[in-house]
C-alpha cells in the first residue's frame, strides 16, 4: 500500500529572529496543513532548510513534527545525506521517533555513480524497516538516478517503495515507469508537473505550493486520481503563474515570503539563503492575489 496518495507538503521551517526554530509557529503551520486537506507532511526536506541544521537540531524538528501530527496524516522525514553513514543514522532515528517513511535525496556535491547509488540507498534500506522514497533532483545535487537504477532498487529492497521525481525530464520518467511495471510509487517533485507526472501513473506530489495552497494542491491530485484529467489540467493551469513566482528565486526563499503574506511568522532564512528581492516579492504578491490567497 502506498504511503500516501495526493498532495504532501514539503513543509517550511519557521525560524525566530535569532535563527532558532519557532516551534509554536511550526505547530500552527502543521495544523493549518492538516485542517486544509494536505495528505502527508514531508519534514526537513529542501524547503525545510535542513541543509543548514545540525544533525541534532534536524532530528529535533523531525520528532516535534511527528509528535504534533499524532498520526493524523503520514509524516515522511527527510533523512538524506551525501554521507551514507549519516543517512543511515538519521533514518534510524526517524524510524525510532515514529516516522511513517523517510525521504532520501541522492548524494550531493561528491555525487555517485549508479553503482554507488545502489550501494548508498541499499545501506539505508538494510538499516531500517519503514518505507523509503528516493528523491531525484539533479538540478540541486548534480546526481541523477537513472530509470534502470530506480527500478533495480525498488525490486531488490522491499522498503524502497517510491521516488520523488524532480528531474523535469518527462521522457526519463516515462521510461522509468515503463520499466517499473508497477513496482515504483511515483510522486512529482515539481508543482508545475503534477498532471503530467500523474498521467504516467504518479500517485501525487511532494509540493512547495502546498505550503500556502494545501487545499488547491490536494484538489489537483484528487481530480487526477479520479481520472478527471481535464478538470485537473484546468486547476494545474490556474496554478502555473503562482508556481512560477514561488520559484522565481531559489526555494525556499519565495515560499517563506508567501507564508508571511498569509499570516505566518515564517521568520528569516538561514545563510547562504537571503531575503527575497523586492521586485520578485511584488510579483509574488500579485500572483498570490490572483490565485485568491490574499486580498
Task: Supply the residues annotated as catalytic.
Answer: 135, 164
21 three-state secondary structure: strand
CB 102 within 8 A of CB 79: yes
Q: Which three cell numbers stand for residue 36?
A: 486544509
CA distance 263 to 271: 23
Contacts of 196 (CB under 8 A, 6+ apart): 170, 188
Q: Distance from first CA to last CA of the chain, Å, rounded?
A: 41
> Which of 265, 267, 261, 264 is CA-nearest to residue 290?
261
CA distance 69 to 72: 6
CB 169 within 8 A of CB 141: no
Cis bond upstream, residue 252 (ω within 30): yes
Amino acid at each position: 500500500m502506498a504511503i500516501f496518495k495526493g498532495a504532501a507538503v514539503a513543509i517550511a521551517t519557521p525560524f525566530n529572529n535569532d535563527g532558532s526554530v519557532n516551534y509554536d509557529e511550526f505547530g500552527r503551520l502543521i495544523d493549518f496543513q492538516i485542517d486544509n486537506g494536505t495528505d502527508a507532511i514531508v519534514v526537513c526536506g529542501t524547503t525545510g532548510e535542513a541543509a543548514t541544521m545540525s544533525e541534532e537540531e534536524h532530528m529535533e524538528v523531525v520528532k516535534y513534527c511527528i509528535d504534533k501530527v499524532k498520526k493524523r496524516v503520514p509524516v515522511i522525514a527527510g533523512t538524506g545525506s551525501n554521507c551514507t553513514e549519516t543517512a543511515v543514522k538519521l533514518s534510524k532515528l526517524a524510524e525510532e521517533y515514529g516516522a511513517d517513511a523517510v525521504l532520501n535525496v541522492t548524494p550531493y556535491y561528491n555525487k555517485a555513480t549508479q553503482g554507488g547509488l545502489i550501494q548508498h540507498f541499499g545501506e539505508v534500506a538494510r538499516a531500517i524497516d519503514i518505507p523509503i522514497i528516493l528523491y531525484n533532483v539533479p538540478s540541486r545535487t548534480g546526481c541523477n538516478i537513472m530509470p534502470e537504477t530506480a527500478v533495480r532498487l525498488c525490486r531488490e529492497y522491499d522498503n524502497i517503495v517510491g521516488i520523488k521525481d524532480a528531474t523535469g525530464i518527462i521522457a526519463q520518467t516515462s521510461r522509468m515507469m515503463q520499466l517499473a511495471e508497477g513496482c515504483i510509487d511515483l510522486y512529482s517533485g515539481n508543482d508545475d508537473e503534477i498532471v503530467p507526472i500523474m498521467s504516467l501513473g504518479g500517485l501525487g506530489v511532494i509540493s512547495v505550493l502546498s505550503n500556502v495552497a494545501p487545499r488547491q494542491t490536494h484538489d489537483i491530485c484528487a481530480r487526477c486520481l479520479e481520472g478527471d484529467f481535464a478538470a485537473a489540467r484546468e486547476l494545474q493551469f490556474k496554478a502555473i503563474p503562482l508556481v512560477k513566482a514561488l520559484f522565481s528565486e531559489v526555494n525556499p526563499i519565495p515560499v517563506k515570503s508567501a507564508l508571511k503574506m498569509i499570516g505566518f511568522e515564517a521568520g528569516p532564512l538561514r545563510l547562504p539563503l537571503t531575503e527575497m528581492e523586492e521586485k520578485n516579492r511584488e510579483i509574488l504578491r500579485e500572483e498570490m492575489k490572483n490565485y485568491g490567497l490574499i486580498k
